[in-house]
Amino acid sequence: MRTPSREAYKVNLSPHFHKSCSHVLLLMNTMNKSSTLTLNAMGAQNSRETLRPHFDPITLIGLISMHLPLSCHGQQQKFRVTPHDLQVLEGAEAMLRCEVTNLAGAVQWTKDGFALGFSAVIPGFPRYSVLGDRKQGAYNLRISNASITDDAEYQCQVGPARLNSAIRANAKLTVILIVGSLNERSNSNHGVMVSSTYDSSNQAVKKPLIQAPSSH
């Protein structure tokens, strides 16, 4: 039986099947060391390339490892909407938005570095919930009836997956306290507003208070 001196393998690579667009490892199941591989990569700078494999001395399987400059821009997961710093009055609702295009990884929020988990209903935080749709890549954090304990640094985290890198976006939530009774505020156009924040050690960071004018 005559063994051909040259075997050609034609492989079509599409960006749809390899989102990293950088590295491809091909295995040639052949014992013919004179074999070559003809590569026709869609979107590559050189549309056609003939390569010769390196053969493993034990398995005799031909290996080709290469980097391909495929045109896959826009395939990586990225933020479409990032959360932004927000100030809300005590008792109001806070909404921190986070939307991702080409979502591949798992999404969760953190509060001052503490992971809130991947569930829409967050255990231990009954006033917190994640609203959105994975198909749309929307993971918005809603905090109802905001209190001073919610004053913190929040981060939307998207984990790595399928050759996509992890991405993160931060936002600071500041809760503003209104001091004074309803009667006092009804007799004046001014209220006393106190803005308080907490650092990572949960120690209060003092800020100057805005004093209300006398109602006499």
pLDDT band at 59 (very low <50, low <70, confident <90, very high): low
Place domain 78-176 in its CATH homologous superfamily: Immunoglobulins (2.60.40.10)
pLDDT at site 14: 40
Contact 150, 177 (CB under 8 A): no
Please choose, from the candidates 210, 83, 88, the residue with its C-alpha nearest in 3D space to the C-alpha of residue 148: 88
pLDDT at site 112: 98
The better pLDDT of the pair 13, 163 is held by: 163
Find all residues with CB under 8 Å of 145, minimum gap 6, and list them: 91, 92, 93, 127
Contact 99, 65 (CB under 8 A): no
The better pLDDT of the pair 212, 106 is held by: 106
DSSP-derived pairing of the beta strands 152-158 and 138-143:
unpaired
Structure tokens at 200: 């990572």
| pTM metric for this prediction | 0.56
Please choose, from the candidates 122, 206, 199, 107, the residue with its C-alpha nearest in 3D space to the C-alpha of residue 155: 107
The better pLDDT of the pair 98, 74 is held by: 98
pLDDT at site 179: 79
The better pLDDT of the pair 2, 94 is held by: 94
Beta strands in 97-158 (DSSP E): 99-101, 107-111, 114-115, 128-133, 138-143, 152-158
Structure tokens at 172: 């600071």
Mean pLDDT of 176-203: 52
Please choose, from the candidates 160, 150, 161, 138, the residue with its C-alpha nearest in 3D space to the C-alpha of residue 114: 150
How far apart CA 178 and CA 185 sit, in angstroms, is 10
Structure tokens at 12: 């079509």
Domain regions of the chain by residue span: 78-176
The better pLDDT of the pair 70, 98 is held by: 98
Find all residues with CB under 8 Å of 189, minimum gap 6, and list them: none
pLDDT digits (tens, 9 = 90+) for 138-173: 999 999 999 999 999 999 999 999 889 999 999 999
pLDDT band at 56 (very low <50, low <70, confident <90, very high): low
Mean pLDDT of 189-212: 43
pLDDT digits (tens, 9 = 90+) for 61-84: 555 555 444 434 458 999 999 999
Residues paired with 94 in a beta bridge: 143
